[in-house]
DNA sequence: CTGGGGAAGGGGCCC
DNA sequence: GGGGCCCCTTCCCCA
């Protein structure tokens, strides 16, 4: 099994620097934004495909496509690929091809909000844009200072995180919606360049070469870590025993197991 | 057990 | 404001 299918597990060791953002929670008023980016609302199979890469922008995310006899499983996580991996090799539209056809094709594209039936997914998407604008479901919290709204805290509706710019929030939301989907294996990513890096695991492309040895890497950061192995003095040093390591993770492991601080 | 490689996530910066 | 890229970091696996 390729390691690329490993699911990241969040641990307490990961320390994103949200401290300054998390302190902006008082004096809040609310602004409404359209709820347009919930992955559970749009199965991948209903999204137009590209030969090599699937990409949705936030503004272009398809809206709720609700078949009359939906076979869309509820999403247990950001993306349940378990059911897709078996049929992902070019098999599109499990909703459209694996289900028995509806008596009236128009019923297959019913708006979940108002029940209106449309002739096609595209017309349904266009119709649902009206809900996207008119139906405030996601709430962005804007934090006021005492005198003016000089700072805004944009809350993610999927998790407790908040950001002080809409752009940062949109970037973060991509980690929930995972709009970049590998058409080879179905794995989804938050950003296009992550997908490109992942595609290299399929193609075997390794554009980053070590100048000291002939080893090549698909990822620049991995090359950088590798270069540390050629260095006599490693970048990360133990404060207790002065031993150096090529990686921060190795230093962490060292301090946790081998070298207990003098305590 | 340790070091290193592979894969991936996310913030920040620049254009 | 959005996309691309850089950089750092983490996690997992393996020799």
A113 CA vs C5 C1’ separation (Å): 40
* Cβ-Cβ contacts under 8 Å for A148 (sequence gap 6 or more): none
Query: Which of the 8 DSSP states describes residue A117?
Result: B
**Residue A186 predicted with pLDDT over 60:** yes
The model's pLDDT over A46-104, given as tens digits with 9 standing for 90+, comes to 333 333 333 333 333 333 333 333 333 333 333 333 333 333 333 333 322 233 333 33
Q: Please report how many Cα atoms fall inside a 13 Å half-sphere around the Cα of residue A91, on the Cβ side.
A: 12
CA-to-C1' distance for A82 and B12, Å?
Answer: 34
pLDDT for residue A20: 33
pLDDT (average), residues A146-164: 62
Residue A4 vs residue A235, higher pLDDT: A235
Q: Which of A124, A137, A111 is nearest to A30 (CA)?
A: A137
Per-residue pLDDT band for A1 (boundaries 50, 70, 90) equals very low
Determine the nucleotide nearest to A60 by Cα–C1' distance.
C2
| Cβ of residue A56 lies below 7 Å from strand B | no
The reply to whether A176 has its C-beta less than 7 Å from any atom of strand B is no
pTM: 0.49
Name the band, by pLDDT with cuts 50, 70 and 90, for residue A188. Answer: confident
Strand C reaches within 7 A of the A221 CB: yes
Task: Measure A249 CA to C15 C1' (Å).
Answer: 18
Q: What pLDDT is recorded for position A115?
A: 56
- State the pLDDT at residue A244: 77
Percent of chain A with pLDDT over 90: 0
Q: What is the pLDDT of residue A199?
A: 86
A204: left (phi over 0), alpha (psi -120 to 50) or beta: left
Higher pLDDT, A62 or A127: A127
- Give the distance, in angstroms, between residue A220 CA and nucleotide C7 C1': 10
Cβ of residue A226 lies below 7 Å from strand B = yes
């Amino acid at each position: 099994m390729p390691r690329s299918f490993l699911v990241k597990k969040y641990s307490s060791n990961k320390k994103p620097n949200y401290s300054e953002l998390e302190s902006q929670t008082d004096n809040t008023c609310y602004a409404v934004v359209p709820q347009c980016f919930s992955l559970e609302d749009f199965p991948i199979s209903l999204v137009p495909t590209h030969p090599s890469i699937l990409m949705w922008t936030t503004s272009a995310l398809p809206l709720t496509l609700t078949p009359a006899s939906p076979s869309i499983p509820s999403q247990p996580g950001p993306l349940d690929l378990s059911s897709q991996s078996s049929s992902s090799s070019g098999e599109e539209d499990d909703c459209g091809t694996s289900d028995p056809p509806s008596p009236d094709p128009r019923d297959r594209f019913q708006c979940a909000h108002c029940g209106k039936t449309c002739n096609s997914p595209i017309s349904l998407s266009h119709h649902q844009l009206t809900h996207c604008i008119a139906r405030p479901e996601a709430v962005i919290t804007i934090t006021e200072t005492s005198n003016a709204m000089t700072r805004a805290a944009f809350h993610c509706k999927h998790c407790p995180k908040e950001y002080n710019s809409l752009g940062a929030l949109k970037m973060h939301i991509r980690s929930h919606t995972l709009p970049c989907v590998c058409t080879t294996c179905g794995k989804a990513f938050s950003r296009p360049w992550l997908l490109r890096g992942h595609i290299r695991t399929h193609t075997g492309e390794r554009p980053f070469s070590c100048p000291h040895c002939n080893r090549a890497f698909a990822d620049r950061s991995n090359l950088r870590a590798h270069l540390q192995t050629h260095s006599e003095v490693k970048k990360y040093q133990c404060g207790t025993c002065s031993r150096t390591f090529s990686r921060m993770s190795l230093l962490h492991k060292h301090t946790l197991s081998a070298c207990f601080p003098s305590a």
